Amino acid sequence: MNHSACHRWWLSVLILAALLPTSLFADHIVGGEFQYELLGYKNDDPSTGILRYRITINMYRDCIGAGAWFDGNDPRATREVPSADGHISIYNGDNYYIRQRAITLDRFETVPINLGNPCLVITEPICQEIGIYTFIQELPISEETYTFVYQRCCRNESIRNLLNPRQIGATYFIRITPEAQRWLSSSPEFNIDPPIAICIDEPFQIDLGATDQDGDSLVYRFCDPRLGGGTDGGPNTGFVTATYFDDIVPLEESPYPYEAVPWVGPRYSVDDQLGVGSTLELDPATGQLSGLPIYPGTHVLGVCVEEWSRGPNPVMISETKREFQLNVARCGNTVNADLLETEIDEQGRFFIRQCGPGPNTIINESTLQQSISSYDWEMIGPGGQLITATSRDFATNIQEIGVYEGVMLLNRNTFADNCKDTARFLLGVYPAVEAKFSSTTVVCDPLPIAFTNESLAVGGQRITSHEWDFGDDSPAARSIEPRHQYRAPGSFTASLLVTDENGCQDEISAPVDYFPAPRTIILDPPDAFGCAPYENRFVNRSIPIDDTYEFEWRFGDGLTSDERDPLHTYQEVGTYDVYLAITSPRGCFVDTTFRELVDVRGSPQADFVFSPEQPSNIFPDVNILDRSTGATSQRYDIADRAGNAIFSAPGPDILYRLRDTSTLRVTQVVTHPSGCRDTLSKDIRLYLKNSFSAPNAFTPNGDGLNDSWRPVGIWEGASDYQLRIWNRWGEMIYSTTTFEEAWDGTYRGSNSPAGGYLWDVVFTNAEGNPEAFKGSMVLIR
């Protein structure tokens, strides 16, 4: 293709790519490979001349971002994120055998991240899925090669080793040659999924080997990824010449051969797919891919497996091509040699102190364990003896005092230097030190306990520190032989930690029982005064005591208690002696009688009455009359419901006028000659009362005297009032619902005749109860 034609082709692809929907682009498909398995002749009959193959297509999809799903009915597809129809083309020679062979996604799964280096972890988001398609295809034996091909445009625009990746497509194919048909051969099958990520500036080794079920020889080599998709690319470009939009999802894939991808030269080529300066090697016999990348980013790689027959004149039977997308990312190292040490010396060595000859284990804290495949320990022991081990922790049994140097190596034989790490250490074996002590025994007298230090330095070394813990939350003591006063009884665990001049330590603990009796019994309060009935809490302040001790109380009124701090009520007036005996858990006994400890005085009893019991608006004055006993003075305090004081006056009796219907609280405070007091509160309120009376005659003659008639009374708080008047013939001639409205002696504008009339009245009184009255009266003219 000349320069001008090439320019026009790139421009046309760019324009078409801009016009077509994003969902049709195959940039989410980042790699793929075909393989075939011969199942035998059709109907197991060689005479048919038809071979049956199981065709498998492995397609690799980038699952980072919002790209389309796999072609061929991906079950996760939606209208917004579709799954394009899946199909391939099958050629026999240069001619179509099947123009469009539908394929359907069988299953998909996540591709594991294999960095080719066990001691690294990826620090960037990486994700690929493998979509697997399988189908059975029958093919007549032919002297021509069958080509199975899948083409799509375009590639991931982040690819850095190809020119214009967003504008070029991919071709994944496999060819069943006449030799493969004659040899009744199946293609090799890759052992594992391709790597999807490796680490920049770190070595890697990854198995890209395959297995051939026929036992043929396999040879591995790098090969060019192939172009695919496009429109009217001209001869030998790998594109279909078409007048329809057939470049993104071709209706018909193009025939073999297929053009190699355009590498970003001169840095990248088929032999430098990770770039000049990076190391990339493929073992031709095993398929092991190894190297050290120096350029970050996304790269496309191509690997081919040639299948050769065995024998003196080998023939190439088939070639299987794998194309995959590899991300060179930044990673973190995971291996770090670390030991549980006493300290680290100035040369950076771990120093482990062993106190006393004999068995010892050096604890290995190296990380991460899943990245460590081997441990190698070497230490020069007594007399220059080499002590070795391959376990994670290092067990020794050295009987001679001394300092011994050693080393621990991680992943000693790995290919990757970053997987290796070393810890150098010193094991110091020193004479043992033994902590030991004894203590005095306290029985009944609460004396301090004396601790005697009996610690021993086995090798004659100097003991430099003693640290005592008495087990009672008191501060630690650092004297050699301390005395300690316990403030409470109990069974304590005392301990002694000793340290010698070599830094060796030993600790011992021993029980210390402390259950003496108190020297003096102390009560709170020291004396008690109150008014009968008098309730007093006796608080036992004696030291040392707790709830394991026995207590015997005698309160002087014939009653007793065995509680530590009893609550007791005296019902009668008098002065009482109180006795208390205390017995410790060890049987130590002490007792005391407190003479005239409790003084119980006489008490008045408050009481009063109201007269009347229900004062009303008619009679609002209430007498508050004293009914208390044993009191020499009385006082009354009156307050509203909110507690606000309204009135206060001395007794014994008082008169108080109620001014409204709100409830008041009356409190009487009375005092006994002993000074004891009592109080009593009662509520009082003003009750509303209604009165009723009716005149028996009236004279409506206009002289201003008795000119109208109505009932009279006190109506405060009453409601639902009704007055009715009837003449002698039973005709109602007047009615009203207003208390103050009166009958003027007329009916329908005319004077009613003199004579007798009947009336009735109903209303609801202030207490909410109905009342009714009726009677007669005389109209006089």
pLDDT mean by block of 10 residues, the chain; 781 residues: 38 40 61 97 96 97 81 88 88 92 94 84 86 97 96 88 91 97 96 92 94 96 87 40 47 90 96 96 97 95 96 93 94 87 90 95 92 95 95 96 96 87 96 96 94 93 96 95 95 97 95 95 86 92 94 96 96 95 95 94 93 91 94 94 93 93 94 90 91 93 92 91 94 94 93 94 92 94 85
DSSP per position, 272-340: -TT-BTBEEEE-TTT-EEEEE--S-EEEEEEEEEEEE--SSS--EEEEEEEEEEEEEE-EEE--B--B-
The set of residues, in sequence order, having a beta carbon less than 8 Å from that of 218 and lying 6+ positions away, is 188, 209, 210, 212, 287, 305, 306, 307, 308
The set of residues, in sequence order, having a beta carbon less than 8 Å from that of 2 and lying 6+ positions away, is none
Q: Among 610, 625, 694, 586, which Cα is nearest to 658's?
A: 610
Contact 56, 36 (CB under 8 A): yes
Q: How many CB atoms lie within 10 A of CB 373?
A: 13
Q: How many CB atoms lie within 10 A of CB 80?
A: 7
pTM: 0.54
Q: How many CA atoms lie within 13 A of 281 on its CB side?
A: 10
Q: How many CB atoms lie within 10 A of CB 27?
A: 22
Name the pairing type of β-strands 350-355 and 421-430: parallel
As a whole number of angstroms, the distance between CA 316 and CA 318 comes to 6
As a whole number of angstroms, the distance between CA 154 and CA 171 comes to 10
Task: Give the three-state DSSP class for 413.
Answer: coil
Ramachandran bin of 161, using left for φ above 0, alpha for ψ from -120 to 50, beta for the remaining angles: alpha
Contact 105, 60 (CB under 8 A): no
State the pLDDT at residue 5: 37
DSSP per position, 547-571: TTSEEEEE-SSS-EE-SSS-EEEE-
State the pLDDT at residue 523: 92
Name the pairing type of β-strands 402-410 and 421-430: antiparallel
Task: Give the three-state DSSP class for 181.
Answer: helix
How does pLDDT run across 152-165, given as a tens digit for each residue?
A: 888 888 899 999 99
The set of residues, in sequence order, having a beta carbon less than 8 Å from that of 378 and lying 6+ positions away, is 386, 387, 388, 406, 407, 409
State the pLDDT at residue 228: 84
State the pLDDT at residue 248: 65
As a whole number of angstroms, the distance between CA 604 and CA 735 comes to 62
Exposed / middle / buried, residue 144 (Cβ in 10 Å: 0-12, 13-18, 19+):
middle
Report residue 744 as tokens.
């003027």
State the pLDDT at residue 13: 39
How does pLDDT run across 534-558, given as a tens digit for each residue?
A: 999 999 999 999 999 999 999 999 9
